[in-house]
Amino acid sequence: MPTADHLLVVAGERVPAVEGGTTTVLAPATGEPLATVARAGAPDVERAVATAHAAFADGRGAWPATSATVRGRVLGRVADLLRERASDLARLEAENAGHPIGDAEWEVEAAARTFEFYAGAPNKHHGSTIPVMDPGLAITLREPVGPCALIVPWNFPLLIASWKVAPALACGNPIILKPASLTPLTALALGDVLVDAGVPPEAVHVLAGPGSQVGDLLVGDPRIAKVGFTGETATGAHILRTSSENITRVSLELGGKSAAVVFADADLQRAAASIPMAVFGNAGQDCCARSRILVERSAYDDFVTAFAAATAEITVGEPLDRDTQMGPMVSEGQRRTSLDYLAIGVEEGARLVRGGEVPDRPGFFLSPAVVADVDNSMRIAREEIFGPVASVIPFDDEDDAIRIANDSPYGLSGSLWTGSATRAIRVARRLRAGTLSVNSNSSVRVETPFGGMKRSGLGRELGLAALDHYSEQRTVFFAED
């Protein structure tokens, strides 16, 4: 059996899988093997869950019992260590996930900022005193929930892990992190960072292994108090069913089909120049990708021309090349899905304006594709492609724009481009998206809640809102006599 280059993290220590299993992960830029990783199985899950359960000890374990102020200090050290190790982590992420190196560096910094934000939270997230009619005193307590299973996807492996690990630890919970099988490397390295920063080892576990086995076992285990999941909507629905048996707390960040709504009164040049990276960033493998671009009919033709020209300027290349703006897709399967959707779109009557070509080079590259004259009823407008495919859809007026934008099973994020402040207020209030930005592409900030409506998810991550999902609120009443 081959030895793994990257071992699991169980009870804070690097260990091989009990049954010796390994997985080979590929480099998306070459399609060649990048590393061998220990593959957890049922005995590793049992060891991690049993240790995390004992480490919680009904809230009396070392980490939950650590004072909130000290927990905050430890999280601050996690942020410092991530920054100290940033260049190694960024390189690992670029090689394993195919991110352009500049994006990977941004991702490590964003993960550090996430820990920094939650470092300030533990001693400010507290209960309250509530005036009640009965004679006495009613107070609420905020307490950790217990062992948390944190299951993350492959598109932003380190960043999305930090969105869950940081608030879970801030609240005093032991964590078991389950990275995606395609991209486990930075999550395993994060386990080392947590232990080196001072989180008690028994509270830190990172299990690389198949979701259908490791993920399923974690979600179904009665000792797991909370599941934080990011991934596909179908997997989220499965997790809801599995967790229902034990009434395990669940938060779900799922798929999206977000709209950028461009009105004719917007700064069209700015919108056309900036929206391409809102779809093609991370090769379109972004839950917040504005993959439906709705444009007012009077500006439609000019916008499509300018948008396609700006898209043609995107430098597609090797992740480690500093000029690269878009790297390869994560896998051959993911590229195949995008190509299939492009063919379906053209068959349904949409017009391929540019892109969608597979270059003659190794790896999973695909040039960014602009598809115009899309009708919102077409499959490329309704289903999440999770690849570099932008559908441009015309609309007639404000009501029509809102109708089309909201006509989606998803409701994760979106953008609104207009020069009118009153229109921005009117439309922003009517769009059914968890996170919306006006005259901007970015919708995720550590300080503000993030999450989806409809089939895009359940609960909110980031901001102080995330702390509610990782803590219990208890009420205690003291009778006066």
Residue type, 21: G
Does 178 help bind ligand NDP (rule: CB under 6 A)? yes
Both tokens assigned to 90: 């960024």
Does 219 help bind ligand NDP (rule: CB under 6 A)? yes
Both tokens assigned to 305: 């021309």
Judged by CB, which is closer to ligand NDP: 98, or 317? 98
Q: Which residues pair with 416 in a beta bridge?
A: 261, 438
Judged by CB, which is closer to ligand NDP: 74, or 254? 254
Angle subtended at Cα 86 by Cα 83 and Cα 92, rounded to the nearest 5 degrees: 150
| Nearest-angstrom CA–CA distance, 218 and 183 | 19
Residue with token string 């980490």: 63
Does 434 help bind ligand NDP (rule: CB under 6 A)? no
Q: What is the DSSP string of 264-313?
A: TTS-HHHHHHHHHHHHHGGGG--TT---EEEEEGGGHHHHHHHHHHHHHT
Which residue in the set 112, 189, 203, 412 belongs to the binding site for ligand NDP (CB under 6 A)?
Answer: 412
Shortest distance, CB of residue 391 to ligand NDP, whole angstroms? 16
Both tokens assigned to 132: 């009640």
Does 383 help bind ligand NDP (rule: CB under 6 A)? no
What is the separation of C-alpha 171 from the centre of its chain, rounded to a whole number of angstroms? 20
Which residue in the set 238, 249, 290, 292 belongs to the binding site for ligand NDP (CB under 6 A)?
Answer: 238
Judged by CB, which is closer to ligand NDP: 216, or 348? 216
Does 151 help bind ligand NDP (rule: CB under 6 A)? yes
Does 253 help bind ligand NDP (rule: CB under 6 A)? yes
Does 212 help bind ligand NDP (rule: CB under 6 A)? yes
The active-site residue out of 287, 288, 318, 384 is: 287
Does 231 help bind ligand NDP (rule: CB under 6 A)? yes
**# of chain residues touching ligand NDP (CB under 6 A):** 32
The active-site residue out of 93, 116, 253, 318 is: 253
Decide if 23 contacts 36 (C-beta within 8 A).
Answer: yes
Does 154 help bind ligand NDP (rule: CB under 6 A)? yes
Please indicate whether residue 253 is annotated as part of the active site.
yes
Judged by CB, which is closer to ligand NDP: 171, or 250? 250
Which residue in the set 22, 96, 181, 418 belongs to the binding site for ligand NDP (CB under 6 A)?
Answer: 181
Q: What b/e readout covers 444-476, taking b as 16+ CB neighbours within 10 angstroms? A: bebeebbbbbbbbbbbbbbbbebbbbbbbeeee
Decide if 313 contacts 277 (C-beta within 8 A).
Answer: no
DSSP 8-state code for residue 461: B
Does 155 help bind ligand NDP (rule: CB under 6 A)? yes
Span near ligand NDP by CB under 6 A; candidates 129-137, 253-261, 264-272, 417-425: 253-261
Does 85 help bind ligand NDP (rule: CB under 6 A)? no
Q: What is the DSSP string of 386-423?
A: -SSEEEEEEE-SHHHHHHHHH-SSEESEEEEE-S-HHH
Q: What residue ranges bind ligand NDP (CB under 6 A)?
A: 151-155, 160, 178, 180-181, 210-212, 215-216, 219, 230-232, 235, 238-239, 253-256, 287, 384, 386, 412, 452, 456-457
Residues with a catalytic annotation lie at 253, 287
